[in-house]
Amino acid sequence: MSHAPKAFSHLDATGGASMVDVGAKPDSHRTAVAEGRLTCSLKTIAQLRARALPKGDVLTVAQIAGIQAAKATSALIPLCHPLALTSVDVGFTVEADGIVVRATVRATGKTGVEMEALTAVSVAALTLYDMCKAVDQAMSIGGIRVVEKRKA
């Protein structure tokens, strides 16, 4: 028994890249949730709690960066379709040695919004990195993945 492998969606018949045709797909309500994590030192989190969290500033800056990045996804990821997002939410859980970033994105459209959620998480985490790099040179970002995807 043979079955053809599912095609890589962005490769056209001659192997070139294209933004695939979704014109015939119906519009539906799409939701995607993605997560990632900035891992840093215990000391960085302690400093963050002591100095920045009471004001919320560091997290708010990263939140805004993530929201803006979600809206810019089709300009950043070459074969992503432009989508009019109806909702973007970026939240954080501060842990002992890191910060978990979670983004929820919604749109009504012809394609899913997981790239938008992953992009929001990535850019929010990069922004946290940028704001902490003066005090911590050994951080890393990981665990970026889709944790939920719905179509209704």
Interface with a second copy in residues 95-124 (CB under 8 A): 106-110, 114-115, 118-119, 122-123
- How far apart are the C-alpha atoms of 95 and 109, rounded to whole Å? 35
Q: Min. distance of Cβ 33 from a second copy in angstroms?
A: 13
Marked catalytic residue, from 21, 57, 97, 130: 130
Q: Which is nearer to a second copy, 33 or 67 (CB)?
A: 67
Residues 19-48 that bind a second copy (CB under 8 A): 19-23, 29, 36, 47-48
Choose which of 40, 45, 67, 101 interacts with a second copy (CB under 8 A): 67
Does 151 engage in binding with a second copy (CB under 8 A)?
no
Contacts of 29 (CB under 8 A, 6+ apart): 106, 107, 108, 151, 152
27 backbone dihedrals φ, ψ, rounded to 5°: -75, 135
**Taking a C-beta distance cutoff of 8 angstroms, is the pair 90, 118 a contact?**
no
Q: Min. distance of Cβ 22 from a second copy in angstroms?
A: 5
**Taking a C-beta distance cutoff of 8 angstroms, is the pair 93, 130 a contact?**
no
The question of whether 130 is a catalytic residue gets the answer: yes
Catalytic residues: 130
